[in-house]
Amino acid sequence: MKRTLQRKALLLATCVTAYALGAAVSVWAQGIPASGITPAPPAVPEYAPKGLPLGAFRLFPTLEVGFNSDDNIYRTNANTKADTFWEIIPRVALQSQWSRHYFTLRAGAPAYAYNNYSSESRVDWDVSGEGRIDLSQGTAVYAGTSYRHTYEPRSSPDQQNFAAEPTPFDVGHADIRIERMPNRFGVILGANYDNYNYDSTKAIGGGILNNDDRDYDEWDFFTRLLYEFSPGYSVFGHFAYNTRNFDIHPDRNGVNRDSTGYRANVGLQMELTRLFSGEFYAGYMEQDYKVPLGDDSGFNYGAEFTWLPDPLVTIRISASHLINETVVSSFAGVATDSNEQRFAFGIDYSFRRNIILHGDLAYLHDNFTSSGRVDNVGLASIGISYLINSYMNANFRYIYQNRDSNINAPVSQDYGDNIFRVGIGFQL
């Protein structure tokens, strides 16, 4: 019974974290960083990494090497440039093996080396830690922190067309939550903090664009009440309140982007053994900005499901509605925010136990409120993973991404992009 409650607690906390941190994906809005192209090795037990024992911990080192061909590295509509580049992605995780409580440390340093356009070469890095303290049966405290240094993708609407290279930025994060679920009723209280810090953008031909006006802090406080009305089924109510405070007022567009907002939702969470798990919710969201930006509000929704209709097939479905920060402006006006609606569908088919075919479709509708700009972004991907043994895997993936924007002046925002990737992974 205790193990079942701990398993439910971990699933619930994971869902809540993803939900509460939804706005954090804004820094990758419309973008697919190269690291997002790498397919994760499927979870097949006999090919899973064994790890290295270190007392009460276990160390899991991995290394991914990939070769990519990209026919539009700058994500432009005209005068497209093609290049090939290498990915070298070392990662390590240190995980506790305790009977109670839980603690994990992770770190990685993905490097991308372009063969012809060295301005696109870069090295990202990230470190994170998370843990759980089991206070009593059905009661636990979760906490985590992370720091990431990365670069704004060329596909981001906030990446300037005159940028000589992608803009570096850092994201610091911390979260804490307490969960109490002694029986069918449960409650979660938590808070998240995120700090966004953008470096200057280097311009083609010299000069820089200062991005200090994009730096901001975000606090997100949330509570969730739930009731398990049947084994594997729980209904919940979720309320979250956030504040976003920018370092500089006004910004480059002459506006103050400080804001407060909330989300109020009800939903259903399911965990039917390993065959079906996830949740969906619906409700209302609002973000209030300083005059003259006004506010943005409306129907809110989200979903995250994994379904195994057959031992050989895994289906993944997700949807989300987010209000993100932006500095986009047009002749029609300054954007209040980036109002994003995302939908994704994926399927994995085990052609053999160790050979898995992948297919993914995704769609993003991005309305830059009050600016007149609306983008529609589509993505399609196919691939294959070959699990050689518990130490090695090989993979191939083709990705097509397309953006259709109603803004064509002074420069068209439309683009199409094709990426072919082949990679090999090592793990212990």
Q: How confident is the model at residue 5 (pLDDT cuts 50, 70, 90)?
A: very low
Contact of 218 with 244, CB cutoff 8 Å: yes
Class of domain 2-427 (CATH, top level): mainly beta
Residue range 277-295, pLDDT digits in tens: 899 999 999 999 999 998 9
Residues 6+ apart with CB under 8 A from 13: 132, 140, 142, 177, 179, 188
- pLDDT of res. 30: 55
**What is the rounded CA–CA span in Å between residue 222 and residue 178?**
11
Q: Nearest 5 degrees, angle CA 121-CA 403-CA 116?
A: 25
Q: How confident is the model at residue 43 (pLDDT cuts 50, 70, 90)?
A: low
Domain borders along the chain are 2-427
* pLDDT above 80: residue 2: no
Single pTM value for the model: 0.88
* pLDDT above 80: residue 48: yes
**Mean per-residue pLDDT for 249-278?**
91
Counting every residue written for the chain, the total comes to 428
CA quadruple 155, 157, 158, 162: dihedral sign: positive
* Region of poorest pLDDT, from 22-36, 76-90, 96-110, 331-345: 22-36
Q: Output phi, psi for 142, to 5 deg.
A: -115, 145
